[in-house]
A and B are shown apart, each in its own frame.
Chain A
Amino acid sequence: MDSNHDKQIQSLLCYRYTIGQCGTGEKIERKSIESSIAMPQELKLILKHADEPGYGPDIGCYLKHGGYETLKKALKAPGRELPDGKKLSAQEAFRGDVRTSGLRGRGGAGFSAGLKWSFVDRSSGKPIYLICNADESEPGTFKDRQILHKDPHQLIEGMVLSCWANDVKLAYIYIRGEFPEGARLLNRALAEAREKEFLGKNILGTGYDLEIWVHRGAGAYICGEETGLIESLEGKRAYPRIKPPYFPAVLGLYLCPTIVNNVETLCHVKHIAAMGPAEFARLGTPNNTGTRIVSLSGDVQHPGYFEVEVGKVTIGELIFHENFGRGLKPGRQLKAVIPGGSSSKVLKAGEVFSLKRKGADGQMIPVDVPMLDLPYDFDSLQSAGTMSGSGAVIVMDDSRSMVDALANLAEFYAHESCGQCTPCREGALWMAKGLHRLTHGGGRKEDAAYLTHIAQNIQGRTICAFGEAAAWPVLSFVEKFWEEFQARGEADAAARTEAGSGANSNLKPYSYA
């Protein structure tokens, strides 16, 4: 244990200074570090039981582990009286709790869940819908998959609570088409819940009716965008809607007020109900409360999903710590980290950010924070010019070409653009074609600037945030690895000059058919 512990400390220390030098070699048992103090580690709220041996997705198992107890309690809770004498219904009180818990959406934007709920138009007389966004399609993200496949009842309990709190009578789970097993499990779980009266007419004898149905997508990333999702659920092409006027909370599904929340967000609602908002808010860090499930992939020894308190673990720890990524492959150095799904701006090894921190006197003072020391939370990553997005960290080591990596992502965005609005429809494929050329021997020295030009004309000009999602990787990769892009183009140009031809004739045109 001692030698392991030393290795631990060593890895903890060394990654901050000598990037990529440690974390190599032998595997360390996770148990060995549980005792160490201040050791960054998982805190499993949502995934508490999911990976326990013998834990299954059936309702029996869920009930055995205390499942639906929270729901039973919540539905019977009396209203609440505020100090000023104002009376709140139990639902209003719970909506307030979700707000004070500080829960922020885990789907991508990190928007306050309680605030989103407060925008719902409750006076329209129209039904209010709730949709669980289980489209999980942001590259690098595989957290919702765990919940859907291993603990569907937790999601259902969270959804019933959320629906009850918002007077929702009909809700949908929009699950990506590539999760056929997940859809089956959910359907079974919903049937079980119906049978046990946690769902359907007169839930638990309270008179509250709710139906939840599973709706399957069919292979389109844009269905993750909430208004694209709504259109898709209406049986149309997943064309995101223009805002204004189509804010889902006012004009959503069937032009009725609609709440769209991510799978993980809705599970958290259950935990807020179970533990109370104050207790929930004690987890994580201020304004970045609770836990979140980080999906770690790419060039690490031990990729996987890790539920951590928001902001209590740094990016460096996620990559190098024995409890998480366990460092890079042998002999490799860190080159880049995509911190919040493929759409987030890339972070370059060695970058240092100036972040505002509370000083000893309570004043906010700027502090230099190396990239690896960035706490993995919403605000820090935003201050670092990127985002924690869907909580997906993709690590790339020094064996990787940033040009190739970006070409891969650009192809994704070209394929996934819904094509509705001009800049994204034309620009996403344009960037992909340019990068294809650049990675297939047809580069030019002006290509770095060329790509930036295209991306700048997409971001901020489109109907939905896909525009940013497509532009940001390009803008950040090219800016931060400018020399590499430049060099690639120049090398191609030089090779062409040598070969005596200005154009690369054997370059196959890029296309999807």
Chain B
Amino acid sequence: MSFVIPKNLEAELDELATHYPVKRSASLMFLHALQEHFGFISNDAAEWTAGKLGLQPIHVYELITFYPMFRQEPIGRTQVKVCRTLSCALAGAAGIREHFCRKLGLDPHAHVPQTTPDGRFTVEFVECLAACGSAPVVLVNESLHECVGKGQADEILARGK
């Protein structure tokens, strides 16, 4: 399968690159847009980005492996990011993550991101999401869920595509 960037996405990226006096600066924004479109950053996407921004592929690879939000593999359609850090931990975040895992048949003790075999959900721990006042919090794709109890967790799972 060859790697195709839709014209409108490329136009959007070209516009983004104009925001910076140095093209390389647009790297993160490119990767965000590509990940949004493809679901993850394939090597093709990384190489395309490098070519577009006049970089070596290793430059892009350095970023993908440094910034945790970027994925090199496809992940679940519903991404459940449970905050792990102190305020959320005090409010029971570990239990919430375990709850997600058990409900989805994932290993409740594994620390790493896990995706359900049907590709619907990915559950992972992330660090402080800057919503500690309403701990525990869970970022589901792009929407933040606050003061999440088991009931709300179940709702998230029910809504997940």
Q: Given contacts A140-B128, A295-B133, A512-B112, is CB(A408)–CB(B89) below 8 Å?
A: yes
> Is A219 within 8 A of B130, CB to CB?
no
Q: Given contacts A139-B128, A142-B131, A145-B131, is CB(A342)–CB(B66) below 8 Å?
A: no
Which residues of chain B come closer than 8 Å to A234, judged between CB atoms?
22, 24-25
> Is B86 within 8 A of A140, CB to CB?
yes
> Is B131 within 8 A of A139, CB to CB?
no
> Is A139 within 8 A of B67, CB to CB?
no
The stretch that binds B, out of A63-71, A156-164, A411-419, is A411-419
> Is A295 within 8 A of B132, CB to CB?
yes
Complex alpha-carbon distance, A344 and B9, angstroms: 43
> Is A412 within 8 A of B127, CB to CB?
yes
Q: Is A144 engaged at the interface, CB distance under 8 Å to the other chain?
A: yes
Name the distance in Å between A78's Cβ and chain B's nearest Cβ: 33
From B24, B86, B134, B144, contact of A235 by CB (8 A): B24
Complex alpha-carbon distance, A261 and B29, angstroms: 21
Binary contact readout B85-124 vs A (1 if CB under 8 angstroms, 0 otherwise): 1110110000000000000000000011000000000000
Q: Which of A112-169 contact B (CB under 8 A)?
A: 127, 136-142, 144-145
> Is B87 within 8 A of A394, CB to CB?
yes
Which residues of chain A come closer than 8 Å to B26, judged between CB atoms?
235
Q: Is A265 engaged at the interface, CB distance under 8 Å to the other chain?
A: no
> Is A235 within 8 A of B63, CB to CB?
yes
Q: Which of B67-86 contact A (CB under 8 A)?
A: 67-70, 81, 84-86
Complex alpha-carbon distance, A270 and B2, angstroms: 51
Complex alpha-carbon distance, A178 and B127, angstroms: 10
Complex alpha-carbon distance, A280 and B92, angstroms: 41
> Is B85 within 8 A of A139, CB to CB?
yes
Binary contact readout A206-249 vs B (1 if CB under 8 angstroms, 0 otherwise): 00000101011111110000000000111111100000000000
Name the distance in Å between B68's Cβ and chain A's nearest Cβ: 4
Which residues of chain A come closer than 8 Å to B66, judged between CB atoms?
220, 237-238, 418
> Is A254 within 8 A of B132, CB to CB?
no
> Is B135 within 8 A of A177, CB to CB?
no
Q: How large is the interface on B (under 10, 10 to 19, 20 to 34, 35 or more residues)?
A: 35 or more
Q: Is A299 engaged at the interface, CB distance under 8 Å to the other chain?
A: yes
> Is B63 within 8 A of A237, CB to CB?
yes
Which residues of chain A come closer than 8 Å to B85, judged between CB atoms?
139, 342, 408-409, 412
> Is A142 within 8 A of B132, CB to CB?
yes
Name the distance in Å between B78's Cβ and chain A's nearest Cβ: 15
Name the distance in Å between B26's Cβ and chain A's nearest Cβ: 7
Complex alpha-carbon distance, A390 and B131, angstroms: 14
Q: How large is the interface on A (under 10, 10 to 19, 20 to 34, 35 or more residues)?
A: 35 or more
> Is B132 within 8 A of A220, CB to CB?
no
> Is B139 within 8 A of A178, CB to CB?
yes
Binary contact readout B56-67 vs A (1 if CB under 8 angstroms, 0 otherwise): 000100110011
Q: Given contacts A139-B132, A298-B87, A409-B86, is CB(A217)–CB(B67) below 8 Å?
A: yes
Q: Is A296 engaged at the interface, CB distance under 8 Å to the other chain?
A: yes
Complex alpha-carbon distance, A180 and B68, angstroms: 15
Q: Is A398 engaged at the interface, CB distance under 8 Å to the other chain?
A: no
> Is B132 within 8 A of A297, CB to CB?
yes
> Is B132 within 8 A of A392, CB to CB?
yes
Which residues of chain B come closer than 8 Å to A453, judged between CB atoms?
none
Q: Given contacts A140-B86, A237-B62, is CB(A303)–CB(B128) below 8 Å?
A: no
Q: Is A400 engaged at the interface, CB distance under 8 Å to the other chain?
A: yes
> Is B21 within 8 A of A235, CB to CB?
no
> Is A235 within 8 A of B53, CB to CB?
yes
Complex alpha-carbon distance, A408 and B128, angstroms: 11
Closest B residue, CB atoms, query A135: B130
Which residues of chain B come closer than 8 Å to A513, judged between CB atoms?
111-112
Closest A residue, CB atoms, query B66: A237
Which residues of chain B come closer than 8 Å to A298, judged between CB atoms?
86-87, 90, 132
Q: Is A170 engaged at the interface, CB distance under 8 Å to the other chain?
A: yes
> Is A178 within 8 A of B126, CB to CB?
yes
Q: Is A405 engaged at the interface, CB distance under 8 Å to the other chain?
A: yes
Q: Is B142 engaged at the interface, CB distance under 8 Å to the other chain?
A: yes
Q: Is B37 engaged at the interface, CB distance under 8 Å to the other chain?
A: no
Binary contact readout A52-84 vs B (1 if CB under 8 angstroms, 0 otherwise): 000000000000000000000000000000000
Binary contact readout A162-206 vs B (1 if CB under 8 angstroms, 0 otherwise): 000000001000001111110000000000000000000000000
Complex alpha-carbon distance, A338 and B63, angstroms: 32
Name the distance in Å between A481's Cβ and chain B's nearest Cβ: 15
Q: Is B150 engaged at the interface, CB distance under 8 Å to the other chain?
A: no
Closest B residue, CB atoms, query A237: B66
Q: Given contacts A218-B28, A235-B27, is CB(A396)–CB(B90) below 8 Å?
A: yes
Binary contact readout A367-396 vs B (1 if CB under 8 angstroms, 0 otherwise): 000000000000000000000000010101
A-B contact sample (8 more), CB < 8 A, given A181-B144, A297-B133: A137-B128, A213-B20, A218-B69, A235-B28, A236-B59, A296-B133, A299-B90, A411-B84
13 contacts between A and B (CB under 8 A): A136-B130, A137-B128, A140-B87, A145-B131, A178-B69, A178-B81, A181-B144, A211-B19, A215-B29, A217-B67, A221-B127, A303-B133, A405-B90
Q: Which 10 A-B pairs have the closest CB atoms?
A: A218-B67, A235-B27, A235-B24, A297-B132, A219-B69, A297-B87, A139-B128, A218-B69, A219-B68, A213-B19
